[in-house]
């Protein structure tokens, strides 16, 4: 089950301000993605704040002034500047007080391609977590559900990183990385999301964390 996570009311953040922090907990996004009309698509959250454009500008400016948010300007090839918004360590701390995330059950994953020694393109899947058990549980269900297709577990690589950032504003004492070769991932690759959700004990995003809180 996925749902909006509950809050503790441990801070004086309004509900709408907290929703902005939800959008940024995993990393910075373009300011335009924070606009109400773009919010769901940009954040993949099923809920949205109620700030108008003018109110949003004022709120972000105020949070930057209070050291809760950072503004990052990224120059593209045309030398146009694009503003991204991110959380500071202090902002992340406020967010943690409200959402009380269980980081031991958190993981991130991705699939991609690389070139092997013979110059052939090969697919791989990777999962990262502060704990080995969480990463291993995710990997097992990702294989069973088809999220990671045709995995060769005999070639799994395990790496451990110290002081790594899984989210931009927070470093973790240890991050475990499990990496496996897998089959090609296509848009129509079948995934049993019902099975994935039935066996899920981890969270990869806020909607999943909200479901675990229930």
* Distance spanning both ends of the chain, measured CA to CA: 9
Provide the pLDDT for residue 77: 47
CATH 1.10.10.10 residue ranges for the chain: 15-99
Q: List strand residue ranges (DSSP E) for 132-169, in order.
A: 157-167
Would you place residue 161 in the very low, low, confident or very high pLDDT band (cuts 50, 70, 90)? Answer: very high
How many Å apart are CA 168 and CA 87, to the nearest integer? 8
Provide the pLDDT for residue 117: 82
Span 147-158, pLDDT tens digits: 999 999 999 999
Span 12-64, pLDDT tens digits: 999 999 999 999 999 999 999 999 999 999 999 999 999 999 999 999 999 99
How many Å apart are CA 209 and CA 161, to the nearest integer? 24
- Helix, strand, or coil (residue 73): strand
Would you place residue 123 in the very low, low, confident or very high pLDDT band (cuts 50, 70, 90)? Answer: very high
Q: What is the pTM of this model?
A: 0.91
Task: Among 3.30.420.10, 3.40.50.300, 3.20.20.140, 1.10.10.10, name the CATH number for the domain at 15-99.
Answer: 1.10.10.10
């Amino acid at each position: 089950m996925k749902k909006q996570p509950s809050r503790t009311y441990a801070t004086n953040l309004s509900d709408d301000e907290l929703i902005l922090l939800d959008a940024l907990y995993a990393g910075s996004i373009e300011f335009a993605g924070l606009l109400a009309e773009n919010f769901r698509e940009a954040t993949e959250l099923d809920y949205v704040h109620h700030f108008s454009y003018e109110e949003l500008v004022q709120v972000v400016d105020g949070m930057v002034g209070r050291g809760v948010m950072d503004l990052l300007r990224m120059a593209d090839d045309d030398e146009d500047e694009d503003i991204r918004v991110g959380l500071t360590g202090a902002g992340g701390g406020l967010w943690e007080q409200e959402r009380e995330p269980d980081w031991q059950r958190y993981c991130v994953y991705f699939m991609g391609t690389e070139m092997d020694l013979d110059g052939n393109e090969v697919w791989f899947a990777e999962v990262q977590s502060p704990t080995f058990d969480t990463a291993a549980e995710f990997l097992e269900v990702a294989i069973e559900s088809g999220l990671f297709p045709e995995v060769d577990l005999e070639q799994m690589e395990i790496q451990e990183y110290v002081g790594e950032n899984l989210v931009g504003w927070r470093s973790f004492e240890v991050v475990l990385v499990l990496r496996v070769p897998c089959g090609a991932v296509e848009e129509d690759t079948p995934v049993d999301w019902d099975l994935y959700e039935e066996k899920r004990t981890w969270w990869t995003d806020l909607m999943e964390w909200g479901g675990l809180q229930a």
